Amino acid sequence: MGVEEQVREALREVVDPCSVAAATPIDIVEMGLVDRIEPDGDGVAIRLSLTTPSCMMLGQLLEQIDRQVSPLLGGRKPEVTLDDGMTWTPERMTGRAREIREARRQVLLSLLPPRKSDA
């Protein structure tokens, strides 16, 4: 397995903090947040797209990435850059991630009281 594939597998252990808060833990690969993984000499460059430019969990996300990827790089931290064009959309999520999110949405909808009819 090449470096890019190893890093991608490691990033599957990094869970999007906002998805955890929404009770639908989904990793950043399935969320479609990983734009690019490029081996760079002894290191690796990772480009991410965030779901919002005001992501308050970015620090935690970067720590998780370092924790998962650094061991593959002999302790060196990956170079992580962010997409400044806000290219992320829900369509970037994998089918599995969309299913998880929809299942949670259905559970939440089932908790709402029935609507009163307009009659």
Residue 22 has what pLDDT?
85
Query: Are the CB atoms for 93 and 46 separated by under 8 Å?
Result: no
> pLDDT digits over 32-87, tens only?
999 999 998 889 999 999 988 888 899 999 999 999 999 999 999 999 999 877 77
Query: Are the CB atoms for 16 and 27 separated by under 8 Å?
Result: yes
Average pLDDT score over residue span 5-31: 94
User: At CB < 8 A and 24+ separation, what contacts does 99-108 make?
Assistant: 100/24, 100/26, 101/19, 101/22, 101/24, 101/26, 104/22, 104/23, 104/24
Give me the domains of the chain, ranges plus CATH numbers. 3-110 (3.30.300.130)
Q: Give 88 or 67, the one with higher predicted confidence.
A: 67
Mean pLDDT of the chain: 91
Assess whether pLDDT exceeds 60 at residue 118. Answer: no
Q: Give 111 or 68, the one with higher predicted confidence.
A: 68
Query: Are the CB atoms for 39 and 4 separated by under 8 Å?
Result: yes
| The model's pTM | 0.85
- Letter for the amino acid at 88? W
